[in-house]
Amino acid sequence: MQNRIADPHLGINKQARAVLAYLDTEPSFAKYENGFYDIDISTHAWYNGRERGVSLTISRLGFRGCLVVTFGECRNSDGIFVDAWELPGAPYNGPTTEGFTDDAYKARKTFPEGAAGKAGEYIFEKLADFYNTKLTEKVA
């Protein structure tokens, strides 16, 4: 039982917070001009049963789609999961399991317990790849 009025971690598990700390860096893959990056990366809590982690969405104004990346502690082990899927546009509020397909689940990447750095590197690579391949398609 919690013995405090508020949980400053919002129920997000320790492994997800460790990966999030690793990702607290500048997106060196994105274009930087006039004090701003040309992308938007939003961070939200991700609640999916025992998977109480973090979701990221990367998008760019005037470009097609967004990538959702979720990560946290696996529900069936103490390892770290990373899921990624594309949506036609950034969700108004945080992402949900809507749009999360069986193919996205089959593509789930897992890392051993405590491998926050490895999971963070993988996520960074996914974000960079999406930026470099998908966020170059202008909206007609």
Angle at 22 between CA 72 and CA 20, to 5 degrees: 40
Query: pLDDT grade, residue 137 (50/70/90)?
Result: low
**Which residues have a Cβ under 8 Å from the Cβ of 43 and sit 6 or more positions away?**
20, 54, 55, 56
47 Cα distance to chain centroid:
13
Q: How far is CA 100 from CA 41, 48, 103, in A?
A: 19, 12, 8
* The pLDDT of residue 139 is above 60: no
Higher pLDDT, 7 or 39: 39
| CA end-to-end span of the chain | 53
Residue with token string 């025992």: 50
CA pair distance 12, 32, nearest whole angstrom: 31
Domain map (residue ranges) of the chain: 14-133
- Helix, coil or strand: residue 126: helix
List, in sequence order, every residue forming a beta bridge with 40; answer none if it has no partner: 59
pTM value is 0.89
Q: What confidence tens digit (pLDDT) does each residue in 42-80 have?
A: 999 998 887 889 999 999 887 878 999 999 998 888 899
In this structure, what are the phi and psi dihedrals at residue 83, rounded to the nearest 5 degrees?
A: -115, 150
Q: Are strands 66-73 and 40-48 parallel, antiparallel or unpaired?
A: unpaired
